[in-house]
Amino acid sequence: MIEIPDLAAGGLAAGTLSAFVLGGGLLRSRRREARQQEEMASLRSQVEGARGEVGRVSRAYAAEVAHLGERRVAAEATRAAHPHVQVPGPLHPDVAGTELGAGLDGVLAGVLAAVTQERKRVDAAARAGMRGATREIQAGLYRLQDQLRGLQRRYDDPELAQTLFELDHENEQSLRRAQVTAVVCGAWVGLAREESHLVDAVTGGQSRLVGYHRVRVHNHLEPGAALVSHAVEPVAIIVAELLDNALRHSAPDTEVVVNLERAHHGVSVTVDDAGVGMNADERAYAQRMVAGTDPILLSELGDPPRMGLAAIGQLTRQFDLSVDLSSPSPYGGVRAVLLVKNHLLSRIDPAERPPAAAAPRSTRQAEAQAAAHPALPPAPAHAAPYTPEPAPYASGAITHESAPDGDALPQRRRRSRAVALPAEAAPAPARTPEESAAALGALQSGTAAARSAAPTEGNEPR
């Protein structure tokens, strides 16, 4: 039999063992609970941190969007018209290169494209309106030109003739400005129906300017060097605008020197002035304008608009001409070089169709004359200063054909060809406008008297 003390000892031992087992389980449970609480605290901390990060990112995104709308979009729209304007970047540099940065840049690109398209549409409408206005102005100026020249033929008073000359010259300048504006607005320049001497195109451009007497042309081309018909008026316009810039930006007591030289790829017309010159930025802007490679909007021409360089750019692009302003003049001002390529050049027999009497004689012709007649003094390379009365292209008729859109401009009347000077005779000395007017008045008086005394019919002055 098992005694009672033994049973008690066994029960005590079993109870003790159970207590140890239960205590170990309770301890593990508490440790597990503590770990879970720690994990929950950590997760709670992470959630709170995530919430803070989301709030910070949201506020950063909101700030970037507000910065985009308030500063960057406005600057991008302004830069469409003024390329020198700087567009600010993102508020946070680390945004660049991210998806957010790419999205914001895409918004700016879309704004720029929309603004550029709208500016082009507005510019096209403005060009169309100005084209119509200049067409009406040109038509009126051509009518005024015809009336002035009719009065010049009708009256022989020297003072009146001088006044009519001055009015005709003023009208010619207004006509040039209207023509330049029309060219910038996309109108067709018109065509010369006959080839013309290149030197006549240069002097024709010279005659359209205030201060034309300050221009000295050195003609080093072979006699008979000419332009094909459709290049005459563009070359005259370009030369007139280059000379106008040179005259405006140089002192009134200085000369503007023009040299006509043969080049490998054509003929160069070099214009040098002794004016104020241009700095690097101005020279780069002017070169971009005359190159004609980039489209130029009217809003980029300033207020008031400066049309001259823009017109040159239009013509160089349309007629395959080239103008370079990158070199300074040896006289301290600006050097402009117009290159007329070989495919725009032609030749006219100077014996059959001589250039205008007022055009400077070729130095090569003077050299040939000196070699043929050693006893004679060499003829000067320059004729008398050009006056507004002779026609710009005395060697042929100038008309203005219909524009591509069907808008016809009035035609200029055919003008008489100039009589060539004999090869052995030196040019007449320079005359003042007053002397020219007096001579013309005397000639008209004598002609009228002779016609009235003649017995045949049809001798009334025309």
Distance (Å, rounded) from C-alpha 158 to C-alpha 152? 10
- What pLDDT does residue 134 have? 86
b/e map 146-175, b = 16+ CB within 10 Å:
eebbeebeeebebeebbebbebbbebbbbb
Specify whether the backbone of 186 is left (phi greater than 0), alpha (psi in -120 to 50) or beta.
Answer: left
Distance (Å, rounded) from C-alpha 459 to C-alpha 451? 5
The mean pLDDT value of the chain amounts to 76
The answer to whether the beta carbons of residues 346 and 270 sit under 8 Å apart is no
DSSP string spanning 167-202? HHHHHHHHHHHHHHHHHHTT-----BSS-EEHHHHH
The answer to whether the beta carbons of residues 325 and 283 sit under 8 Å apart is yes
Which is it for strands 215-219 and 256-263: parallel, antiparallel or unpaired? parallel
- What pLDDT does residue 377 have? 52
- What pLDDT does residue 410 have? 38
The answer to whether the beta carbons of residues 156 and 444 sit under 8 Å apart is yes
- What pLDDT does residue 407 have? 41
**Residue 389 in this model has a pLDDT that exceeds 50:** no
Task: Please report, as a single letter, which amino acid is at residue 431.
Answer: R
Mean pLDDT of 395-404: 39
Mean pLDDT of 164-191: 85
Q: How many CB atoms lie under 10 A from the CB of residue 374?
A: 7
More confident residue, 385 or 261: 261
Question: Which of 298-302, 316-320, 355-359, 426-430 has the least mean pLDDT?
Answer: 426-430
More confident residue, 264 or 32: 264
- What pLDDT does residue 4 have? 65
More confident residue, 159 or 1: 159
pLDDT in tens, 80-110: 777 778 888 787 777 777 877 788 888 888 8
**Residue 294 in this model has a pLDDT that exceeds 50:** yes
pLDDT in tens, 226-259: 999 889 999 999 999 999 999 988 888 899 999 9
Please tell me the number of Cα atoms within 13 Å of 175 on its side-chain side: 23
**Residue 266 in this model has a pLDDT that exceeds 60:** yes
- Cα torsion 7, 9, 14, 18 to 10°: value is 140
pLDDT in tens, 69-79: 888 888 888 87
- What pLDDT does residue 367 have? 60
Distance (Å, rounded) from C-alpha 101 to C-alpha 123? 33
- What pLDDT does residue 411 have? 39
**Residue 350 in this model has a pLDDT that exceeds 80:** yes
For 271, the token pair is 């214009």
pLDDT in tens, 27-62: 788 788 888 888 887 887 777 777 776 777 677 778
pLDDT in tens, 114-147: 888 888 888 888 888 888 888 889 889 989 989 9
More confident residue, 368 or 169: 169
- Beta partners for residue 197, in sequence order: 226
DSSP string spanning 269-324? EEEE--S----HHHHHHHHHHHH--S---GGGSTTTT--HHHHHHHHHHHHT-EEE
Q: Which of helix, strand or coil describes residue 226?
A: strand
